[in-house]
Each structure stands twice: as C-alpha cells, then as structure tokens.
Amino acid sequence: MRDLHVHTPFCRHATGSPAEYAAAARRAGLAGICFSDHAPSPDGYDPANRMAMAEFPRYKAAVMGLEHGLEPEVLFGIEADYHETCVGFLEQWLPEQDFDVVLGSVHYIGEWGFDDPAQISKWADADVAGVWREYFKRVAALARTRMFDVLTHPDLPKKFGHRPPEKVARELAAPALDALAAAGMAIEINTSGLRKPAREIYPSAFILAMAEERGIPVCFGSDAHEPGQVGADFERAGRLARDTGYKETACFRKRKMTMTSI
Ligand code: ZN
Ligand code: FE
Ligand code: FE
Ligand code: ZN
C-alpha cells in the first residue's frame, strides 16, 4: 500500500522531518509515501495553516532530496483547498508545478473553518444537514474545476461527530459523487477520522459504497501530521475497501493515475 497523504512542518501544525516520515513509511512496510502538505495561498486564505509562498521551493527541495530509487517510493504532492479565494491562484499555479498528485480538500464554508478545533463553537448553533449540504455543494464545484486528482477526507464535516441521518447524507453526497466520477477523480480512504471524535474512517462505508457504484477509484491516506501516524490503520482501510468491492487502488505519478491490486 501507499500512503498518499502526509504533512511536514512547513504547514506549521505538523512535526517531524520529511526523512522521518519516509523512515516511518519504510518501517510500516509501505510501497510508497506521498508528501502532500497544505498548499501556499498568496491570497491570504488561512495563512496560519500553510507554508508561505516563499517556502514552497524549500518544501519541494526537502521532498525531492529524499529520492533514492528504493522503497518506499517518494512522491511529491500537495493538498490544495477548494475555496472561492484560492481558485484563481490554483488555476494558474497548479499546472506550472511538477506534482505527482494534487489532493483537493474542502475545509472552509465561507469564513468558517468547520473542521478547525479553534472554530468548533460555531457547530453549537449550526444546522447539521445544512452544513453537509454546503460542504457537498463545494465538493461538486471542486470536481467541476478539473484541477484536482483526488478528493481527500470525503465526509469531513463528520469530524467532530456531526452527522445528518444516513438517508439525508446519501441525498447530499450523491450529486457530488456524480461530479467526481464525471471528472475522473479518485477519492481518498483517509484514516485520520479514527483519531478524531468521529471515530470513523473518512468516508463512511455507505458513502464509499456509493463511490464504488459509480466506478470512482480509491487511494489511501493517513493524513499524518507526525511520523508515527504514517500508514496508521491501513489494514482496516484496506479491509473496508475490499469489503466494499474494491480490488484495486489508485496511485499517481506526474498526475497520471495507475491502478494496482489491493
Ligand atoms: Zn493539516
Ligand atoms: Fe485536509
Ligand atoms: Fe492533510
Ligand atoms: Zn487533510
């Protein structure tokens, strides 16, 4: 298996050097690791949680410096947020870079970072189904940009345990999954939800089944923010994928998707 989603201290909220993440991947017996730290945003979007534009060359050099031709294979990626203030920059910037993969995320609805522990109080008077609706609207819009390869943590609004009834969640997720399928994107089975109050992999089994029905490929990510989290709970993630009917997993090099059996 490959872990396509790990962070580095360049984002200001992760610990451990890239070499330590790669060493952890080797110890975990992974075939590959992809660095996918939070993309810079010169337009001022959420600057506290990402590298500055001027740091990007150092991020790239730190990852590229790990290349050694041995396992685990090291891939160079980025986690880029879909947000109305980022789209213009990303549209121009992403194609100019030599990423292996671009992960697309939705962490904000308007001004609200709904998965940010520092902004959790806003959930107290939020309409949960309404938040999920706004979230999946943005996921569909993300897919329609054709700028991203993978949707990360597909049902992120459940992070702190806020879930609408399953029937409602299905109705809200369906058009977003249709848009992801139409865009030829993959979705990530992200184990970090197990470490959060949701206590569940992103996405939930029923959403993964909806993705499988639409032929949407999957890949695996730990969303590690420290080396000890690399490849965390991947056995469980692999089991979830197989139980859902998946036989293959997606990997990316220079933004081309290839499939290998799980
Ligand atoms: Zn992060
Ligand atoms: Fe994220
Ligand atoms: Fe992440
Ligand atoms: Zn993430």
Taking the CA of residue 79 as centre, how many other CA atoms within 13 Å lie in the half-sphere pointing to its CB?
27
**DSSP result, 223-238:** -BSSGGGTTTTHHHHH
Question: Looking at residue 40, what DSSP letter applies?
Answer: P
Question: According to the model, what pLDDT value does residue 71 have?
Answer: 79
Point out the ligand nearest to the CA of residue 13. 1
Q: Pairing state of beta strands 150-151 and 73-81?
A: unpaired
Closest CA to 37 of 17, 26, 23, 89: 17
Confidence (pLDDT) at 28: 96
Cα(172)–Cα(129) distance, rounded to whole angstroms?
Answer: 9
Spacing, Cα 80 to ligand 2 middle (Å): 8
DSSP secondary-structure letter at 70? S
Cα separation, 119 vs 116, in Å, equals 5
| Predicted TM-score (pTM) of this structure | 0.97
CA of residue 36 to ligand 3 center, whole Å: 7
Task: Pull the structure tokens for residue 247.
Answer: 């036989």
Q: How far is CA 187 from the centre of its chain?
A: 8
* Cα–ligand 4 centroid distance for 249 (angstroms): 19
- 76 within 8 A of 252, measured Cβ to Cβ: no
Ligand that lies nearest to the alpha carbon of residue 81, given by its number in the listed order? 2
Residue whose pair of structure tokens reads 């995320």 in the numeric block: 105
With a cut of 50, list the residues of the chain below it in pLDDT.
Answer: none
Q: How far is the CA of 125 from the centre of ligand 2 (A)?
A: 23
Report pLDDT for 243: 98
